[in-house]
A = this chain, B = another copy of it.
C-alpha cells in the first residue's frame, strides 16, 4: 500500500482509536511506513490486535470492505489529509493521561450528514451530562442548546439519553445544526430509541464516530469517545451530573486541553447536580453559566474565521437597565418567542419582561410579532 490516505484508513481500522503507540509513531514516520511498522510481525498487543483484525486479508481489502459497508449506511471517512478535517483534534497529542493509553488524536472520523465537518464544529460547544437527568436538567439543556443554536453555535453531544438528547433536541428546535459523537459505528443506533433523533441530526448536522461502521458501542469506548467531544468543541458545558457521571470525565479532558469548562447550577438538594457542583469547586477553573449568552461570553473570541456574534447597535443598548440588558440577551434571533420563555431564559420575573419588551421594540432592538419577540433583523450592507 503506498497511498497515505488509504494507509491512514487501514491504521484506523487496525488499532483501537486513541492508541498512543501508533499516534506517537505517526509523528516520526508517514502513514504508509507506520502501517508497515505495525504489520512487521510485532510481538506486542498492538501487533496482535492488528493481525486479528486483518484475519489474513490484505490491508487494502479491509479498507475496501469497510468503505463498502460505509457506503450502504451513508457514512464517509474523513482523515487528517482531507479538507474537512477539524485540525483542533491535534491538541489531543498533548494530552497524557497516566491511567489511560487511549487519549491520542483520532486517525479518521466517520461522518454521516449534510454538514462539512470542519465548518460545523468551528463554532461548536459541547453540552454533556447525565443519562438519568431530572426534568429540570432536561429543560435547562434544551433551553441553553436552543439559545446557542439560535446564535449560530453548533451544539455537540454524545447522543445518549437524558442531557445529551435534550441538548441535540434544543439545537434542532432552533433550526441549528447539531453534532452527535457516537461510541460505536454510525450504523449502530445506540440507544435504539434515538433512531429518529439521529436521522434529524444528519439533516443539518453530523453523526460522527471514530469507529468504522460495524463496530459496536462498548462500555470503555464511551470514555475514549468523550475526549473527541472535548477536543472538537471550543468548550464544554456540564448540565447535570451525579458524583460518578462520565460527563465529568469529558469536563476533565476539556480542562486538560485548555478549553473552558462551564457548569449549569442546580438545586443543592438534587443528586443529579451534585457532580456539577463538585466540579465547580475545583481544582480546575470552572465557570458557572445560566444563559446561552454567558456560555458564548466564556468561550471567548473564536478566531478570525467565524462571523462576529451579532449584537444590537451599541448606543441604545448602553442605556439599558441590567434587567433590560439580560432580557435583550435572551431574545431569540431567528424564531420569535413569548415573553414567558424570554423571562425564564433571562432569569427575570415575567412581569418585568412583559414591561420591558415593548420598550425594546420601541427602540427597534427587538421586533414584536403578534406578542412574540425576536431580535431585529440586521441589514447587512451588500
Contact = CB atoms under 8 A, between A and B. Distances in A.
Contacts of A344: 269
A234 interface: no
Interface string A312-354: 0000000000110010000000000000000010011100000
Number of copies: 2
Given A265-B265, A266-B265, A288-B265, A349 B281 contact: no
Given A288-B280, A290-B277, A271 B139 contact: no
A290 B268 contact: yes
B349 A271 contact: yes
Size band of the A side of the interface? 20 to 34
A92 to B, nearest CB: 28
Find the residue from A264, A266, A344 having the highest chain B CB count within 10 A: A266
A296 to B, nearest CB: 13
A291 interface: yes
A311 to B, nearest CB: 19
A354 to B, nearest CB: 14
A244 B348 CA distance: 11
A209 interface: no
Contact of A291 (B244, B268, B271, B348): B268
A287 interface: yes
B270 A347 contact: yes
Contacts of A347: 243, 268-271, 273-274, 277
A-B residue pairs, 9 tightest by C-beta = A265-B265, A274-B347, A268-B290, A280-B288, A277-B290, A271-B349, A271-B347, A269-B344, A140-B268
Interface of A: 136, 139-140, 243-244, 264-271, 273-274, 277, 280-281, 287-291, 294, 322-323, 326, 344, 347-349
23 contacts: A136-B267, A136-B269, A139-B269, A140-B269, A243-B326, A243-B347, A265-B266, A265-B268, A265-B273, A265-B277, A265-B288, A266-B267, A267-B267, A268-B290, A268-B347, A270-B347, A271-B349, A274-B290, A274-B348, A277-B347, A280-B288, A281-B288, A281-B289
